[in-house]
Homo-oligomer: A and B are copies of this chain.
Amino acid sequence: MEGSLPKTRSKPRAASLTRDPERTRAAILRAATAEITAKGLTGARVDAIAARAGVNKRMLYHYFGDKQGLYLAVLEHTYAAIRAAEIGLNLTELDPVAGMRKLVLFTWQYFIDHPEFLSLLATENMNRAAYLKTSKQIRTLHAPLVGMIEVLLKRGAAEKVFRAGIDPIELYISIAALGFFYMSNRHTLSTIFGENLSAPERLVRRGEHIVEVILAYLKPTKL
């Protein structure tokens, strides 16, 4: 009978914290992202990642093969995140100036919110993009972005609010550059200029500056 008094209790198994493969995998990935973006690929320690994830070291190898495999997983996961975020941007429904402003500010805010993305790009560039080159999806994923910018530029030129002949890739690199460099290099810049560039109000001011620079560049020259 089920309702009877307990006799000898069955030895309870040690309460394994996870036993949930998905959770374990996710915890490792999160820990690895933090560790690798903080210390770089060679600086990151496998032991530290396992400890941070609260998981046995052996599990890293079980799920990701080796440290390099873990790095690739982190990279893919991080890129996937930014792609997902970009989907929500419906620039083409706005007027050209408002659309451009939105793109610029979105990009800037994304860098503020995702320092791990900046770190990872730095790491990957030091690596001469060795991994990224092996990815087939990456390339096609950026076509829509360039397309969106092209549409904005064309409509802006037609409406005489933008100059004609702007190269969308050159422009996008500049939009990214103005935010990326500020955020990725804010520690050295703060040190050499003796100013705290990470202060929230300073970030707002930087965002406005970037918008100004980009819009000034796009503005048609008056006769």
Contacts and interface: CB of A to CB of B under 8 A. Distances in A.
Interface of A: 1-6, 8, 38-44, 66-68, 71, 79, 119, 121-130, 132-133, 138-139, 141-142, 146, 167, 169-170, 173-174, 176-178, 180-182, 184-195, 205-206, 209-210, 212-213, 216-217, 219, 222
Contact of A121 (B4, B41, B185): B185
Contacts of A142: 192-193
Given A41-B43, A43-B42, A173-B181, A122 B1 contact: yes
B170 A209 contact: yes
Contacts of A8: 66, 68
B3 A43 contact: yes
B180 A178 contact: no
Contacts of A128: 3, 187
A20 B119 CA distance: 41
A192 B139 contact: yes
A169 B99 CA distance: 28
B2 A126 contact: yes
A44 to B, nearest CB: 8
Contact of A181 (B119, B181, B213): B181
Contact of A41 (B3, B139, B194): B3
Contacts of A146: 193
B188 A181 contact: no
A186 to B, nearest CB: 8
